[in-house]
Amino acid sequence: MLDSCKLKTACNLPFIYNKKINTAGTSNADVPLADPGMYQLDITLRRGQSLAARDRGGTSDPYVKFKIGRKEVFRSKIIHKNLNPVWEEKACILVDHLREPLYIKVFDYDFGLQDDFMGSAFLDLTQLELNRPTDVTLTLKDPHYPDHDLGIILLSVVLTPKEGESRDVTMLMRKSWKRSSKFQTQSLRLSDLHRKSHLWRGIVSITLIEGRDLKAMDSNGLSDPYVKFRLGHQKYKSKIMPKTLNPQWREQFDFHLYEERGGIIDITAWDKDAGKRDDFIGRCQVDLSALSREQTHKLELQLEEGEGHLVLLVTLTASATVSISDLSVNSLEDQKEREEILKRYGPLRVFHNLKDVGFLQVKVIRAEGLMAADVTGKSDPFCVVELNNDRLLTHTVYKNLNPEWNKVFTFNIKDIHSVLEVTVYDEDRDRSADFLGKVAIPLLSIQNGEQKAYVLKNKQLTGPTKGVIYLEIDVIFNAVKASLRTLIPKEQKYIEEENRLSKQLLLRNFIRMKRCIMVLVNAAYYVNSCFDWDSPPRSLAAFVVMEDMLEDEEEEDDKDDKDSEKKGFINKIYAIQEVCVSVQNILDEVASFGERIKNTFNWTVPFLSWLAIVALCVFTVILYFIPLRYIVLVWGINKFTKKLRSPYAIDNNELLDFLSRVPSDVQVVQYQELKPDPSHSPYKRKKNNLG
């Protein structure tokens, strides 16, 4: 009955509110049925007023669900600790007929528990005038307690008849987040996928510097603060800074800027609490329309509904070279444009815009033998192309297991060690898109201009799934820029799925950790053999080297001063689960660190191994001409004066940044290309179509 609004019918109608409906939900049973046909319902969820308090503190964390015909078609974001929430969220729904009313239900979000009901109402769609923006005020009621006053919800709606729509359009992807009992998992909802037909207009570069005088939320007079950022559908969560009211984050990330006027960044600060709901510290906003372009702005933002300040650096820059086009429009086949791109990344422009490392062109041609996700034995596949935080979509090919897309995507490369991810989904009208297969391709492994059939893998990229996808990829980059960028922090994906506790994953990380420990044990045996003089030449060499290698290091572990609190049974389970996830992640980090060191020396990524050799050779030459004490002196002066020269610089360790680009053993398996089945033929699709 329902379908999501497609790109050409994006929700961009002007809202001129000239009518009001006040309804508590009157029946539409006696209203004559509307003429059959498709309708587009544009809804703006404005705000709530005087909602019911469901938490012990006399507040609620409300969110809203829209349902038609028992199917959920929209879920709003959660507004924490507010009985008068302001959402200003838009939903765009296609309705086959007006017989079914729109049900609105409000809930109070409870972390790890069943959410509390806060009231409901419904809107009779047959009472709306076509093509006319309408303000709607809905009084919330509880069927079990009809006399209780539960507040009101304010909406703006426009009902428009639709004679038809074009599905064959290129879309930009938007990822929404659905909550489970504890963790948030990624899901693609089709109503979130469709945006305006243009690409992003610019980049918003944000550096979270520090917090000052934040509110103490723990019994020890401190907090464990972190910050959440949101710009439209884009989200970012900072790292947690334990036991401080003046945290120093020094984190940098980018958002895409879609709106010409800028948009508003919503910022919330939280205190991390293990085993229970995180405490809200405060909120603030940044209006990007008030900031000038191509200029870095230092902002000191006062937290509302709390205490303290956040210090940010915000820079708005022009859009990068990102595009979607048909196969007939090919940048690299145009000789003039190709020469211009080669010149842009040539050796003469090494120090021009170091962030612009290279150019990537991806041709998504077709797929064959996909998995059937629908009951009809077919699928409605579309393809998602991702490079770090840049993600673009093809159109959907309906009822086809051998779709042809013939699209060309171009990206700017900021890090040559990035991995191109191409994922195929099956579009579903009323629920999240179904996963069909995925491939991950490191940019350094790409062979330019070669059309290849990539075997689709499962979500974990550990084994094959049904189908292959045909891609042709070209990479042009400046090797010197790429080498320099290797020594700065790696860009983090801000919509990565949060790690869950997995027995299989925990065991795998433990085995990986055991291997690394065994390497150290064997190294210890080797060193011990030097002291036993099993091999006199080796022992003599070790004795000479050992004098310069002795160094003691001591570390003190701070005890947790947090007073222990009595937790319920469920909170204890969550606390144990969080500890297990932390152990699982620590094992993964330590094992990955050891594996990356090993893979540097066994030439898993030749570019990085050559880079390490060149760096060592350069360092050796410098040591030959310049005494070590002068090098140490210059290094020390640089380190001690860095904060004076650049007070908001992000701290980094060049060696760790280098190792972060080397794949671990798990990533090597994920990036390994599977051989396609010989039965796959380029002409198989044509035969199937003829059949």
Alpha-carbon dihedral 93, 94, 95, 101, rounded to 10 degrees: 10
Return the pLDDT at 176.
34
Q: How many residues does the chain have?
A: 691
Crossing angle of helices 569-601 and 654-661, in 10° steps, is 90
pLDDT band at 194; cut points 50, 70, 90: very low
Evaluate whether 463 touches 410 at the Cβ level (below 8 Å). no
| 211-235 mean pLDDT | 88
Return the pLDDT at 664.
92
Evaluate whether 473 touches 360 at the Cβ level (below 8 Å). yes
Is 42 exposed, middle or buried, given 0-12, 13-18 or 19+ CB atoms closer than 10 A?
buried
Model confidence at 166: pLDDT above 60: no
Model confidence at 311: pLDDT above 80: yes
Of the candidates 399, 10, 368, 412, the one whose C-alpha atom is nearest the C-alpha of residue 171 is 10
Evaluate whether 376 touches 295 at the Cβ level (below 8 Å). no
Model confidence at 55: pLDDT above 90: no
Compute the distance between CA of residue 53 and CA of residue 108 in angstroms, rounded to an integer. Answer: 9
What's the angle, vertex CA 286, arms to CA 282 and CA 292, rounded to 5?
Answer: 160
Return the pLDDT at 570.
60
Q: Which residue has the higher pLDDT, 233 or 192?
A: 233
pLDDT band at 78; cut points 50, 70, 90: confident
Return the pLDDT at 639.
80
Query: Which amino acid appears at position 380 of this protein?
Result: D
Return the pLDDT at 513.
79
- Residue 498, helix vs strand vs coil: coil
Of the candidates 275, 296, 330, the one whose C-alpha atom is nearest the C-alpha of residue 567 is 275
Compute the distance between CA of residue 306 and CA of residue 268 in angstroms, rounded to an integer. Answer: 10
Residue with tokens 């606390």: 575
pLDDT mean across residues, the chain: 77
pLDDT band at 306; cut points 50, 70, 90: confident
Compute the distance between CA of residue 13 and CA of residue 10 in angstroms, rounded to an integer. Answer: 8
> Percent of the chain, pLDDT > 90?
26
Evaluate whether 587 touches 513 at the Cβ level (below 8 Å). yes
| 28-40 mean pLDDT | 50
Strand partners, 170: none
Q: Which residue has the higher pLDDT, 564 or 621?
A: 621
- Cβ neighbors of 328 (< 8 A, separation 6 or more) are none
Q: Which long-range contacts (CB under 8 A, 24 or more apart) does 75-79 make?
A: 75/178, 76/45, 78/109
pLDDT band at 658; cut points 50, 70, 90: very high
pLDDT band at 160; cut points 50, 70, 90: confident
Question: What are the pLDDT digits (tens) for 243-279?
Answer: 999 999 988 888 888 765 567 889 999 998 876 778 8
- For residue 669, how far is the Cα from the chain centroid? 22
Residue with tokens 């036991």: 243
Residue 432 is classified by DSSP as: B
Query: Which amino acid appears at position 488 of this protein?
Result: I
Return the pLDDT at 446.
93
Compute the distance between CA of residue 520 and CA of residue 507 in angstroms, rounded to an integer. Answer: 20
Return the pLDDT at 145.
83
Compute the distance between CA of residue 617 and CA of residue 603 in angstroms, rounded to an integer. Answer: 17
Question: What are the pLDDT digits (tens) for 467-516?
Answer: 999 999 999 999 999 999 998 888 877 555 556 666 677 777 778 877 77
Look at 81-95, 588-602, 655-669, 676-690 and tell me which has the smallest mean pLDDT: 676-690
Compute the distance between CA of residue 194 and CA of residue 396 in angstroms, rounded to an integer. Answer: 12
- Residue 207, helix vs strand vs coil: strand
Q: Which residue has the higher pLDDT, 85 or 352?
A: 85
Crossing angle of helices 628-645 and 606-625, in 10° steps, is 110
Return the pLDDT at 600.
92
pLDDT band at 689; cut points 50, 70, 90: very low
| 590-618 mean pLDDT | 92
What's the angle, vertex CA 252, arms to CA 638 and CA 656, rounded to 5?
Answer: 55
Count other C-beta atoms under 10 Å from residue 238's C-beta. Answer: 19
Of the candidates 57, 55, 62, 56, the one whose C-alpha atom is nearest the C-alpha of residue 119 is 62
| 112-131 mean pLDDT | 82
Q: Which residue has the higher pLDDT, 520 or 40?
A: 40
Look at 170-179, 215-224, 616-625 and tell me which has the smallest mean pLDDT: 170-179
What's the angle, vertex CA 536, arms to CA 535 and CA 538, rounded to 5?
Answer: 70
Residue with tokens 């290129």: 170
Count other C-beta atoms under 10 Å from residue 438's C-beta. Answer: 22
Pull the structure tokens for residue 250: 């020094």
Using alpha carbons, list the distances in angstroms from residue 131 to 17, 73, 128, 278.
12, 21, 9, 44
Compute the distance between CA of residue 282 and CA of residue 36 in angstroms, rounded to an integer. Answer: 49
Pull the structure tokens for residue 33: 């049925």
Residue with tokens 């070790």: 542
pLDDT band at 178; cut points 50, 70, 90: very low
Return the pLDDT at 34.
39
pLDDT band at 4; cut points 50, 70, 90: very low
Compute the distance between CA of residue 328 and CA of residue 330 in angstroms, rounded to an integer. Answer: 6
Model confidence at 69: pLDDT above 80: no
Question: What are the pLDDT digits (tens) for 324-371?
Answer: 777 766 767 778 888 888 988 988 888 888 888 999 999 999 999 999
Question: What are the pLDDT digits (tens) for 549-596?
Answer: 444 333 333 434 444 444 455 666 666 777 777 787 788 888 888 999
Query: Which amino acid appears at position 405 of this protein?
Result: W
